[in-house]
Amino acid sequence: MTDTPTTSRHVILFSGGMDSVLAAYSNPEADLLFVGTDTKQSFLEKESAGGVAFRMGRRLYYRHTNMPAPVGSNAYVANRNLRFVLEAIDLARFLHRKTPTGTPLPRIVVVLGALKDDRVPDKTPEAFEAMGELLSLIGDDTVRVMSPFHHLTKGQMLAEILADKRRVEEVTALLRASVSCYKLTENAAFCGCGDCPSCFRKAVALLSEGISCVSWFEENPMRSTTAEGYRTRLEDGTLEAQGYELDRIRRMTAAFILAGSK
Ligand SMILES: [Zn+2]
């Protein structure tokens, strides 16, 4: 069964970060949902996500979930994405109530901006498929959980969207407004700190696609402590030995050259 707007209701889990912004951009009919938690980071993300959605001319729905504390040193929160998916299903059901009585609820498609290199256990294609099967089995709805970008790295995702050159200006403006930073500050003049792994990945994807973005960040993302760490591991072959995607290595090299730091 193909998922079209008439046979399914799409809800995109929208954080306002690059991946979810591009997922929303490539799915103009979908509803957008931001799920917040009780952290300062979440409040700041909510503001940015609202700003990007407004810029896209899209309505953004908000939900709140109680998130348990991260486990271990890697800040991984168990079942985090599953909680988001449950909120998305709830929103789809809520919105369906506005349609004429008796209209059957179409298949619910929950969309996340997950990428090929996402390592979180509940953000893999296998996890998404299992979630869809389980939620369809135990609930009243037919549910599919998916990411349109699961076969792509961040840079490849951007390349695919920008294959149509007419989109470059609009997409660049959206990504300038998008925020995916681990150390989000209240300084709205910047799209991120420039010194966390998330800012680094975003900068690499943009630079490797020829988009100048260094000034978007509070600190030059290709000269930060994080960047230096990656550069060392790039040059001594550690990244390749660790099984990094060749596409990511190639793009990282290009980004360092383009940012003039090598
Ligand atoms: Zn950052």
Statement: residue 82 has pLDDT above 80:
yes
* 170 domain residue, yes or no: no
Distance from residue 221's CA to the centre of ligand 1 (Å) = 8
Q: What is the mean pLDDT of the chain?
A: 90
Question: What DSSP letter does each residue of 46-75 carry, written as one string?
Answer: HHHHHHHHHHTT--EEEEE---PPPBTTTT
Residues 207 and 130 in one domain: no
* 156 domain residue, yes or no: no
Distance from residue 11's CA to the centre of ligand 1 (Å) = 27
* 70 domain residue, yes or no: yes
Distance from residue 214's CA to the centre of ligand 1 (Å) = 12
Residues 13 and 106 in one domain: yes
| Per-chain residues with Cβ under 5 A from ion ligand 1 | 181, 192-193, 196, 199
Mean pLDDT of 83-102: 88
Distance from residue 101's CA to the centre of ligand 1 (Å) = 47
Residues 88 and 40 in one domain: yes
Distance from residue 180's CA to the centre of ligand 1 (Å) = 7
Statement: residue 261 has pLDDT above 60:
no
Distance from residue 8's CA to the centre of ligand 1 (Å) = 36
Distance from residue 165's CA to the centre of ligand 1 (Å) = 28
**Residue ending a domain, choose from 146, 173, 200:** 146
Q: Which of 6-15, 75-84, 133-142, 197-206 has the lowest mean pLDDT?
A: 75-84
Confidence of residue 118 (pLDDT cuts 50, 70, 90): confident
Residues 30 and 125 in one domain: yes
Distance from residue 210's CA to the centre of ligand 1 (Å) = 20
Distance from residue 70's CA to the centre of ligand 1 (Å) = 19
**Residue ending a domain, choose from 100, 122, 146:** 146
Confidence of residue 262 (pLDDT cuts 50, 70, 90): very low
| Chain segment 16-53, per-residue pLDDT in tens | 999 999 999 999 999 999 999 888 888 888 988 999 99
Domain that holds residue 49: 8-146
The tokens describing 223, both together, are 């000269």
**Residue ending a domain, choose from 129, 146, 163:** 146
Distance from residue 179's CA to the centre of ligand 1 (Å) = 9
| Count of structural domains, the chain | 2
Residues 211 and 135 in one domain: no
Please report, for the domain that includes residue 44, its CATH number. Answer: 3.40.50.620
User: CA quadruple 94, 96, 100, 101: dihedral positive or negative?
Assistant: negative
| Chain segment 142-167, per-residue pLDDT in tens | 999 999 999 999 999 999 999 999 99
Residues 16 and 119 in one domain: yes
Write down the pTM of the prediction. 0.91
Closest by CA position to 178, among listed 113, 115, 132: 113
